[in-house]
């Protein structure tokens, strides 16, 4: 019988009648007999009793693979249960001439009792764009447009860039005939946060043409895995000294970055962009507060199978983001198992929210028209640089259209919540 718990887990004790088991066993046995190749017999001509003995374990496995899913589906339907994820099979009993008995443990979607979801009260998120924000964006543009100019007549100083010729030898762990590390044009930003202290200390005060010896102990989490945790002795020759030259903030600079004919036009354009970003961010934060208020009113268990799927999806998105930036995740010193575990709380929130929005969409009879679906396919196709026809075909074959439909319904549910909410300060 079904056992109710405080989670989405359910159990069913199932019995498959003897006559059904024997009929399925006979069917499977004859299939094996038709394909069996046994010494002394032509293919498919071996006696059934011999086949039953020779392939006993294989026949047993095939019978269970056939009967267990069907019997679980029938029993769950009779109890009006809809399993999600893979069931766990326990207490399996399978003996000749007897019924097959087993216990199936699985998860189901929770029963959600909708509470007041209209009239949610929240405070609108408010952000501002200050002169300091504009100045910060100008600094970023200047950094991007900066050039390196040669320096003569003085030694390396904090903030300079040294052009180095490096020859390195790994000293720990002792290499077995390893080749030296040779870099002809290495750029070292003296004193920069990203520069290892050993380089800054050894090179500060060096003249162009001067050679210096330094030893670097790379940290265990150093991005270059070939160097992580190693000690390397370098012979460094300073080929040139350069310093960063930031362009002056004037009209020429504005024309150079292509955002206006004058500096004032550039500042105006930057402020407009920041204001547009601020408006989008305010809406996102306000929506997040609205959904937090919705979740606070509803408490229900969440299927862990769906949470696990969402954790995988979140990690997959992070990996795809790295790959899109040209970063090979395999070369990063990251504890991926730990990173995945950290995804559990937000993944559980994602699942809880998705189930709740779907429940609201059903209660409000929110539907997605073919035109709305086509519009979303066109938008997604443009983002992924493929034709709408190709994307629709792929989504159809992968079951993605249903997911897209649910996503649009969820957005409609959020718009409904927003339309009926009391948002102070908006």
Q: Which candidate, 58, 87, 90, 70, places its Cα nearest to that of 17?
A: 70
Q: Which of 222, 245, 268 is the last residue of a domain?
A: 245
The pLDDT score that the predictor gives to residue 259 is: 67
Q: Is 348 found in the same domain as 289?
A: yes
Q: Is 174 found in the same domain as 62?
A: no
Span 206-237, pLDDT tens digits? 999 999 999 988 887 777 777 878 889 999 99
* Overall size of the chain counted in residues: 426
Q: Is residue 139 part of a domain?
A: no
Q: Sign of dihedral through CA atoms 350, 355, 361, 363?
A: negative
Q: Is 401 found in the same domain as 301?
A: yes
Q: Is residue 375 part of a domain?
A: yes
- CATH number of the domain that residue 13 is part of: 3.30.70.1050
Q: Is 281 found in the same domain as 414?
A: yes
How many CB atoms are closer than 10 A to CB 380? 16
The pLDDT score that the predictor gives to residue 348 is: 94
Quote the CA–CA distance of 33 and 35 in Å, as a whole number: 5
Q: How many domains does the chain have?
A: 3
Q: Is 378 found in the same domain as 281?
A: yes
Q: Which residues contact 86 (CB under 8 A, 6 or more apart)?
A: 106, 305
Q: Is residue 84 part of a domain?
A: yes
Q: Is 392 found in the same domain as 291?
A: yes
Quote the CA–CA distance of 6 and 3 in Å, as a whole number: 10
Tokens of 175: 């290499």
Q: Is residue 283 part of a domain?
A: yes
Question: Domain range for residue 44?
Answer: 9-108
Quote the CA–CA distance of 50 and 134 in Å, as a whole number: 85
Quote the CA–CA distance of 181 and 186 in Å, as a whole number: 12
Q: Which candidate, 413, 404, 359, 409, places its Cα nearest to that of 113?
A: 359
Q: Is 361 found in the same domain as 282?
A: yes
Q: Is residue 219 part of a domain?
A: yes
Q: Is 307 found in the same domain as 353?
A: yes
Q: Is residue 70 part of a domain?
A: yes
Tell me the longest C-alpha to C-alpha distance in the chain: 99
Q: Is 161 found in the same domain as 240?
A: yes
Quote the CA–CA distance of 348 and 408 in Å, as a whole number: 21
Q: Is 224 found in the same domain as 292?
A: no
Q: What share of the chain is helix, strand, coil (3-state, %, to 5)?
A: 50, 20, 30
Q: Is residue 129 part of a domain?
A: no
Q: Is 231 found in the same domain as 311?
A: no
Instruction: Per-residue pLDDT tens, the chain, 426 aa: give them.
Output: 334 447 889 999 999 999 999 999 989 888 887 777 777 676 766 777 777 788 888 889 999 999 999 999 999 999 988 898 889 999 999 988 899 999 999 999 998 999 999 999 999 999 999 999 999 999 999 988 889 899 888 999 888 999 999 998 888 887 656 678 888 888 989 988 888 888 989 999 999 999 999 998 888 777 777 787 888 999 999 999 999 899 999 999 998 887 668 999 999 999 999 999 999 999 999 999 999 999 999 999 999 999 999 999 998 888 888 887 777 777 676 788 888 899 999 999 999 999 999 999 999 999 999 999 999 999 988 888 888 888 888 888 888 888 899 999 999 999 999 999 999 987
Q: Can you spell out the DSSP letters for 78-135?
A: HTT--EEEEEEEEEEE--TTS-EEEEEEEEEPPP------SS-EEEPP-----HHHHH
Quote the CA–CA distance of 380 and 386 in Å, as a whole number: 9
Q: Is residue 419 part of a domain?
A: yes
pTM attached to this predicted model: 0.71
The pLDDT score that the predictor gives to residue 384 is: 81
The pLDDT score that the predictor gives to residue 295 is: 95
Tokens of 49: 């009793």
**370 Cα distance to chain centroid:** 30
Q: Can you spell out the DSSP letters for 173-228?
A: SPPSSPPPEEEEEEEEETT-TTS-HHHHHHHTTPPTT-EEEEEEE--TT-SSTTTT
The pLDDT score that the predictor gives to residue 175 is: 65
How many CB atoms are closer than 10 A to CB 382? 12
E strands, 259-307, are: none
- CATH number of the domain that residue 344 is part of: 1.10.3120.10
**248 Cα distance to chain centroid:** 42
Q: Is 225 found in the same domain as 306?
A: no
Q: Which of 203, 228, 245 is the last residue of a domain?
A: 245
Span 93-122, pLDDT tens digits? 998 889 999 999 999 999 899 999 999 999
- CATH number of the domain that residue 225 is part of: 3.10.50.40
């Amino acid at each position: 019988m079904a056992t109710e718990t405080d989670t989405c887990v359910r159990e069913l004790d199932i019995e498959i009648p003897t006559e059904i088991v024997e009929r399925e066993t006979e069917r499977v046995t004859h299939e094996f007999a038709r394909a069996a190749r046994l010494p002394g017999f032509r293919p498919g001509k071996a006696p059934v009793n011999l086949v039953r003995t020779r392939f006993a374990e294989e026949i047993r496995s095939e019978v269970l693979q056939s009967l267990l899913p069907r019997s679980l589906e029938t029993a769950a339907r009779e109890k009006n249960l809809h399993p999600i994820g893979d069931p766990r099979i326990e207490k399996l009993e399978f003996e000749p001439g007897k019924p097959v008995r087993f216990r199936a443990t699985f998860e189901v979607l929770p029963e959600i009792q909708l509470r007041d979801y209209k009239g949610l009260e929240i405070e609108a998120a408010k952000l501002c764009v200050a002169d300091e924000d504009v100045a910060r964006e100008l600094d970023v543009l200047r950094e991007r447009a900066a050039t390196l100019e040669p320096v003569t007549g003085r030694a390396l100083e904090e903030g300079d860039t040294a052009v180095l010729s490096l020859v390195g030898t790994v000293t720990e762990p002792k290499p077995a005939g390893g080749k030296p590390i040779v870099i002809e044009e290495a750029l070292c930003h003296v004193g920069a946060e990203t520069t290892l202290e050993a380089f800054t200390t050894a090179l500060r005060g060096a003249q162009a043409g001067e050679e210096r010896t330094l030893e670097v102990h790379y940290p265990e989490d150093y991005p270059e895995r070939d160097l992580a945790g190693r000690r390397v002795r370098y012979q460094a020759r300073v080929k040139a000294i350069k310093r960063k030259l930031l362009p002056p903030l004037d009209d020429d600079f504005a024309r150079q970055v292509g955002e206006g004919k004058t500096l004032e036009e550039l500042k105006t354009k930057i402020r407009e962009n920041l204001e547009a970003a601020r408006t989008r961010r305010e809406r996102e934060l306000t929506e997040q507060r609205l959904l937090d208020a919705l979740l606070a009113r509803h408490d229900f268990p969440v299927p862990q199978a769906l949470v696990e799927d969402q954790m995988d999806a979140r990690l997959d998105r992070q990996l795809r983001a790295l790959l899109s930036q040209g970063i090979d995740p395999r070369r990063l010193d990251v504890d991926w198992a730990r990173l995945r575990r950290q995804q559990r709380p937000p993944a559980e929130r994602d699942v809880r929210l998705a189930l709740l929005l779907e429940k609201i969409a059903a209660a409000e009879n929110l539907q997605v028209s073919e035109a709305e679906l086509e519009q979303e396919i066109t938008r997604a196709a443009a983002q992924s640089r493929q034709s709408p026809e190709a994307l629709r075909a792929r989504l159809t074959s992968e079951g993605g259209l249903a997911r897209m439909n649910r996503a649009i319904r969820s957005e409609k549910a959020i718009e409904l919540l927003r339309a009926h909410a009391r948002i102070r300060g908006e």
